[in-house]
Amino acid sequence: MTGSICVFAEQWRGSISEATYEALALGREVADALGVQLTAILTGSNARELAQTLGAADLVVYVDHPLLAETLPQPTAEALAQVLQDRRPRAFIVPLTNVSLGVGTLLALRLGTAGINFCKDVRIAGGRLQAVCVMYGGKIEATVEAAGEPVVLGLWPGARPAEKGRSSRSPVVEEATVSLRDSPVLLRRYVEAEAGDVDLTKQDVLVAVGRGIQSKDNLGLAEDLAKSLGGAVAGSRPVIDQGWLPLSRQVGKSGLSVKPKLYVALGISGAPEHVEGMKDSALIVAVNSDPRAPIFNVAHYGIVADVLETIPVLTAAIEAKRAVARHA
Ligand SMILES: Cc1cc2nc3c(=O)[nH]c(=O)nc-3n(C[C@H](O)[C@H](O)[C@H](O)COP(=O)(O)OP(=O)(O)OC[C@H]3O[C@@H](n4cnc5c(N)ncnc54)[C@H](O)[C@@H]3O)c2cc1C
């Protein structure tokens, strides 16, 4: 494993997360470019069989301990540090999700090595690793090089398609033992969110509004458009935080992940936390008055315009088409 590219295989309630496969896809590319091994480290309790789903890696190191049944930051980072102590990889990639958010930072601290978060890509320049990071809600990109290795890289979801990190190969699996004391944090139970009035994950069409909609009074415009399209209204976090829509309508990192056939983003900037929840939509149409808004990086079609002027025009155009179809 020394000199390899290493990925933390994040498990959540007994399954490997999508973000892990995205990290494996990127890790595979970097390892191949450097001509080194790709290793995955999986932590858990009686979860060895999950290693079989990590065939994109050449080697899976499985660490079993009762305190690792859930991915809690402190015991997980301590276990990883013990495994990596004698087998120093060049880079250790940790998916930056709600589950593993603290793992990479704690691990870098524990190893006394560099940690770089919010990476969306890793490049190689003159044999050295460079992380491309997003800052200020995706408005700025920074290319960062660590002074030394190993470097712990917190990888933003969406860096690569998850499918590229899946493989039907059976990886070589090794077991490693760790010594862990009690965790300062214990998971008592999972609490399921209350079901909302509309299940956004089952909608074919979502009309999502962001802060650019400006006030709750303007939500009616989005509702009319959603009705014309046969869909539902969703929102970015500021819209939910202000109480304009219920929490069950929030799309993004701390909301829902959706994959509708059509996602219309109205006055949404396209911060990574929002994009994480809607990037896999089949068709994304964005309306934003700022031509440099990051939402246009993921949109298939973009309209640079004022949403308050554009929404009624879109609704009227769709209604006109529907009227023609009805009378045909
Ligand atoms: C841990 C964490 C979790 C988070 N989870 C989520 C999450 O689940 N979901 C989420 O959405 N965010 C989440 N966020 C917040 C996220 O970082 C952004 O702040 C948020 O997505 C921004 O929402 P917005 O695009 O509506 O607002 P803004 O970033 O303020 O963007 C408003 C956009 O509207 C445009 N605009 C303004 N007026 C008009 C107009 N008249 N016509 C057209 N366009 C106009 C502007 O150009 C701008 O691009 C999270 C943040 C953190 C730190």
Same domain (yes/no): 271, 129: no
How many other C-beta atoms can be found within 10 angstroms of the C-beta atom of residue 152? 29
Residue 82 lies in a domain: yes
Residue 141 lies in a domain: yes
The residue contributing the CA closest to ligand 1 atom 41 is 306
Tokens of 216: 């709750």
Residue 183 lies in a domain: no
Please count the structural domains in the chain: 2
Residue 168 lies in a domain: yes
Residue 265 and residue 210 in contact, taking contact as beta carbons nearer than 8 Å: yes
Q: With a 6 A CB cut-off, is 249 part of the ligand 1 pocket?
A: no
pLDDT value for 328: 79
Question: Quick one: which H or E segment has residue 229?
Answer: helix 219-229
d(CA 170, CA 58): 9
Q: How far is the CA of 269 from the centre of ligand 1 (A)?
A: 5
How many other C-beta atoms can be found within 10 angstroms of the C-beta atom of residue 284? 23
Q: Which CATH number is 317's domain given?
A: 3.40.50.1220
Same domain (yes/no): 221, 140: no
The residue contributing the CA closest to ligand 1 atom 48 is 269
Same domain (yes/no): 209, 265: yes
Q: With a 6 A CB cut-off, is 101 part of the ligand 1 pocket?
A: no
**What residues contact residue 242 under an 8 Å CB cut-off, 6+ apart?**
216
pLDDT value for 137: 67
Q: Ligand 1 pocket test: which of 269, 307, 314 has the largest number of ligand atoms within 8 Å of its C-beta?
A: 269
Q: With a 6 A CB cut-off, is 255 part of the ligand 1 pocket?
A: yes
Q: With a 6 A CB cut-off, is 141 part of the ligand 1 pocket?
A: no
Same domain (yes/no): 24, 80: yes
Same domain (yes/no): 140, 35: yes
Q: Note if the bond before 157 is cis, omega within 30 degrees.
A: no
Q: With a 6 A CB cut-off, is 149 part of the ligand 1 pocket?
A: no
d(CA 227, CA 142): 41
Q: With a 6 A CB cut-off, is 274 part of the ligand 1 pocket?
A: yes
Q: How far is the CA of 243 from the centre of ligand 1 (A)?
A: 15
Give the SS3 label for residue 129.
Answer: strand
Residue 267 and residue 207 in contact, taking contact as beta carbons nearer than 8 Å: no
pTM of the model: 0.73
Per DSSP, the residues of 123-165 read: EEETTEEEEEEEEGGGTEEEEE--SSSSEEEEEPTTSS-GGGG
| Average pLDDT per 10 consecutive residues for the chain, totaling 328 residues | 90 91 97 97 96 97 96 95 92 91 94 94 94 82 92 91 94 96 88 79 96 97 97 97 94 92 98 91 97 96 98 97 86
Same domain (yes/no): 169, 210: no
Q: With a 6 A CB cut-off, is 108 part of the ligand 1 pocket?
A: no
Q: At what angle do helices 307-327 and 219-229 cross, to 10 degrees?
A: 30
Q: With a 6 A CB cut-off, is 306 part of the ligand 1 pocket?
A: yes
Q: With a 6 A CB cut-off, is 17 part of the ligand 1 pocket?
A: no
24: nearest Cα among 60, 74, 72, 62? 60
Q: Ligand 1 pocket test: which of 156, 236, 308 has the largest number of ligand atoms within 8 Å of its C-beta?
A: 236
Same domain (yes/no): 171, 22: yes
How many other C-beta atoms can be found within 10 angstroms of the C-beta atom of residue 36? 18
Domain housing 54: 5-176
Same domain (yes/no): 169, 221: no
Same domain (yes/no): 23, 133: yes
Question: For 70-119, what is the HEC assignment?
Answer: CCCHHHHHHHHHHHHCCCCCCEEEEECCCCCCCHHHHHHHHHCCEEEEEE
pLDDT value for 314: 97
Same domain (yes/no): 88, 218: no
Residue with the two structure tokens 């390892």: 31
Same domain (yes/no): 106, 138: yes
Q: Which CATH number is 89's domain given?
A: 3.40.50.620
pLDDT value for 1: 65
